[in-house]
Amino acid sequence: MKITKFIAGKISRKYLIKLSKIYCFFTSIIYRGGSYYCPICKGSFRKFLPYGAKNWRDGRLCPGCLSLERHRLLWLYIEKKTDILVENQKILHIAPEQCFYKVFRKSHNLKYITADLESPLADVKMDIIHMPFENESFDKIICNHVLEHITDDKKAMQEIYRTLKSGGLAILEVPLDFNREVTLEDEAINTPDLRKKHYWAHDHVRLYGRDYLEKLTQTGFIPVCDEIFTEFDEKEIKRMGLIKKKLLIFKKPEKSGV
Q: Is the Cβ–Cβ distance between 214 and 208 less than 8 Å?
A: no
pLDDT digits (tens, 9 = 90+) for 144-176: 999 999 999 999 999 999 999 999 999 999 999
pLDDT for the residue numbered 6: 42
For 70-251, CATH gives 3.40.50.150
> So what's the pLDDT on residue 158?
98
Residues of the chain with pLDDT under 50: 1-11, 258
Q: What is the percent of the chain where pLDDT is above 90? A: 83
User: What is the pLDDT at residue 226?
Assistant: 97
Domain boundary assignment for the chain: 2-67, 70-251
Going by C-alpha positions, the residue among 186, 182, 253, 187 that lies closest to residue 212 is 182
**pTM metric for this prediction:** 0.91
> Quick one: pLDDT at residue 53?
63
Q: What is the DSSP letter of 119?
A: -
What pLDDT shows up at residue 25? 81
Q: Is 251 helix (H, G, I), strand (E, B) or coil?
A: strand
- Determine the pLDDT at residue 22: 84
- pLDDT at residue number 130: 97
Tell me what the pLDDT averaged over the chain comes to: 92
C-alpha angle with apex 37: 35 to 39, nearest 5 degrees?
A: 170
Q: How many CB atoms lie within 10 A of CB 61?
A: 23
Q: How far apart are CA 164 and CA 137, in angstroms?
A: 6
Q: Using CA atoms, how far apart are residues 58 and 19, in angstroms rounded to an integer?
A: 21
